[in-house]
């Protein structure tokens, strides 16, 4: 059985990265039993493990980082993902979500950019690199020419579900009793919420009221008080009553609100591969998205694009859809997308991670690792 060491610690400050790993495990769960890899989480605490266990994948084990780092070569992993471990580059497959700091450098300090470049080069030095889009793959060649020859594009899929029967209940719980539009990004400066607020103010001058619901973490370390600033601008522009800032809410509630919306707005100034768009595709929801190349790579139906710096263009689309709801013209075969995510990732592992393995008495057997995992679960 193919053995994968999965380095993972739950990070609520970057929940997108945590959901990425959980979605990957969910993708493996859809594969036939004989294709499913044995996954060993290299995690510091039970909360991180429980977050992954929620998907119900049965071939799952757990070792502490200290246990792994004490004798890393002894573990019988065919591949390690997604971060580089010391002296394990030969079988580590890395992941980089995007190169936002090089596209939008004004949102980062020089020190932050230098630190990111350093960490990226550590990942380039592993057996291979996984990215989520053609756009990011092109960025590797553009910003680091010749430094990373082994790159695979593996487009991730969304997995978390919701209960259709509870959509009205969830809407009511959050005070959304009438029609509304959903914007489910973290409230960070590059997510471009300000454009949506400006578009609402332009609609207001035409006597058109549209309600927009914002969900997501309201703490952006780069811009202190950014969410407060957005709320102040909404008040100054006379659209406070048209906005609901719900903050970070349970994932199932967020998805229910997305499904119950008239459509979803994704106004971001930068993405590596938008989880919001994948969520919308999975639930057959219409998306109004900024004109990023990656958004156009993700969407080929049930969508409308607008220039990312043009509130008038967004307001025109919102005005149209205030009068006539957008039409879903094609269903997505999303179950197949989910399986393909797992297959593509395994193919990348097998393509890149083919280095030497430890031989002899020091090598742990699969049963040794299973026993260690059982002890960790029992003592947690």
Q: Is residue 376 part of a domain?
A: no
Task: Find the CATH number of the domain harbouring 98.
Answer: 3.40.50.2000
In terms of residue numbers, what domain contains 59?
3-158+337-370
Looking at the structure, do residues 170 and 224 belong to the same domain, yes or no?
A: yes
Same domain? 68 vs 151 = yes
Residue 125 lies in a domain: yes
169 in the same domain as 64 = no
Confidence check: pLDDT of 356 > 60: no
Question: Has residue 242 been placed in a domain?
Answer: yes
Collapse the DSSP code of 182 into the 3-class scheme (helix H, G, I; strand E, B; otherwise coil) and give the result.
Answer: strand
Same structural domain, 145 and 123: yes
Assess contact for 70 and 35: CB atoms under 8 A.
Answer: no
Rounded Cα distance between 276 and 267, Å, is 11
pLDDT of residue 217 exceeding 70, the answer is: yes
Give every strand in the sheet of 60-63, ordered side by side: 60-63, 38-42, 3-7, 79-81
Q: Tell me if 330 is assigned to some domain.
A: no
* pLDDT tens column, 57-72: 999 999 999 999 999 9
96 shares its domain with 178: no
H runs (alpha helix) in the chain: 15-29, 46-53, 65-70, 100-103, 110-124, 134-143, 167-173, 193-205, 226-236, 251-260, 275-282, 293-298, 311-323, 334-352, 366-379
Residues 234 and 304 in one domain: yes
Structure letter (DSSP) for residue 92: B
> 5 near 81, Cβ under 8 Å?
yes
Total of domains in the chain: 2
Q: Do both 215 and 114 map to the same domain?
A: no
Q: Identify the CA nearest to 126 among candidates 354, 306, 362.
A: 354
Do 193 and 159 meet the contact criterion of CB atoms below 8 Å apart?
Answer: no
Record the pTM.
Answer: 0.90
pLDDT tens for each residue of 310-344: 999 999 999 999 999 999 988 878 989 999 999 99
- CB-hemisphere CA count at 13 Å for 150? 22
241 and 134 inside one domain: no
Same domain, 257 and 179: yes
Residues 289, 176 within the same domain: yes
For residues 231-252, give the mean pLDDT. Answer: 96
Task: Tell me what pLDDT residue 84 has.
Answer: 73
10 and 132: one domain?
A: yes
């Amino acid at each position: 059985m193919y053995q994968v060491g999965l380095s993972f610690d739950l990070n609520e400050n970057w929940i997108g990265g945590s959901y990425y790993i959980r979605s990957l495990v969910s993708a493996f769960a859809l594969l036939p039993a004989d294709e499913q890899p044995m996954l060993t989480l290299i995690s510091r605490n039970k909360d991180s493990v429980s977050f992954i266990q929620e998907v119900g994948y049965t071939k799952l084990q757990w070792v502490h980082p200290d246990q792994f780092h004490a004798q890393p070569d002894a573990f019988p992993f065919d591949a390690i993902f997604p971060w580089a471990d010391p002296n394990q580059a030969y079988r580590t497959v890395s992941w980089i979500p995007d190169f936002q700091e090089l596209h939008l450098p004004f949102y980062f300090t020089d020190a932050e950019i230098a630190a990111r470049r350093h960490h990226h080069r550590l990942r380039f030095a592993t057996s291979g690199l996984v990215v989520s889009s053609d756009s990011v793959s092109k960025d590797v060649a553009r910003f680091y020419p010749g430094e990373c020859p082994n790159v695979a594009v593996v487009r991730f899929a969304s997995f978390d579900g919701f209960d259709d029967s509870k959509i009205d209940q969830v809407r009511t719980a959050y005070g959304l009793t009438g029609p509304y539009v959903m914007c489910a990004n973290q409230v960070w400066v590059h997510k471009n919420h300000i454009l949506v607020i400006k578009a609402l103010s332009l609609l207001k001058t035409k006597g058109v009221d549209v309600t927009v619901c914002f969900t997501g973490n309201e703490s952006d370390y780069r811009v202190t008080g950014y969410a407060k600033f957005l709320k102040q601008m909404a008040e100054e522009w006379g659209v406070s009553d048209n906005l609901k800032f719900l903050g970070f809410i349970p994932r199932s509630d967020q998805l229910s609100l997305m499904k119950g919306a008239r459509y979803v707005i994704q106004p971001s100034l930068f993405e590596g591969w938008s989880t919001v768009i994948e969520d919308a595709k999975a639930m057959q929801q219409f998306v109004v998205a900024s004109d990023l190349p990656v958004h156009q790579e993700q969407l080929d139906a049930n969508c409308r694009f607008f220039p990312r710096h043009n509130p008038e263009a967004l307001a025109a689309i919102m005005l149209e859809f205030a009068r006539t709801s957008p039409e879903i013209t094609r269903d997505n075969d999303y179950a197949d997308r989910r399986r393909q995510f797992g297959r593509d990732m395994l193919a990348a592992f097998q393509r890149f991670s083919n280095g030497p393995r430890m031989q002899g008495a020091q090598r742990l057997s699969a049963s040794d690792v299973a026993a260690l995992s059982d002890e960790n679960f029992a003592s947690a």
